[in-house]
Structure 1
């Protein structure tokens, strides 16, 4: 999935504006402006589209973890990935929203997407592990939609 699509989806999930997005990104010691996020929120087929660099998405996801869970001053900084794939996004969202494997299965089931616990754990493994499974675009899209539903409906 494009980094832009993921950021746009997370912005909706968090009910955030561009200033909130800049603040979350800043938690990972990265800088951007509200105007920068404006260009990344533009859809691929619209005029003014600028592809969001993977390192910005990685920094935003790290900032989201710090925003949701707090920053441990004794823990090492979270690594910034120069190349972000769907598995990385899924892992970081799992951490940020304190989700367990069963929570991910439940979210996917609510989205009418059948997945088993072993399939989800395979997506959490290192790429060189023999049971590693790639997280596809359709899976991540459904997960983001389900996560949004869960976040919006858990507060009341």
Structure 2
């Protein structure tokens, strides 16, 4: 009996064991449409566009809409990067808006909320933070 109870206890911690259960490994990926991964991951990989003026961020978003979003398509990271290089006023704009992996708690307020609630592969609508106006492309999640 002791052997049977241990795998059940480890099931929820399969990520630490490295290869325990396929179920637990897929939960950390934050699949779109399932709320379980969106708000619970520890790290997000994202790109963003930052503009001081709302009009400029709206121009960037219109380019994303016209190219992909209006058709229900996902914006390819390389294309998002081109628009970030053109529009973003953040130093990360030179790198296509790439912020890399960052943990929960590193980014402030609305930026963190949007970054950790945007499904992988999806692009956020423009939103305001204390630094200006942003658009985020979520590229990955992990715990």
TM-score range, shorter chain: under 0.3
* Structure exhibiting the larger radius of gyration computed from Cα positions: 2
Structure with a larger share of its residues in strand:
2
The structure, 1 or 2, with the larger RCO (C-alpha pairs under 8 Å, 6+ apart) is 2
Q: TM-score, normalised by structure 2?
A: 0.24
Structure with a larger share of its residues in helix:
1
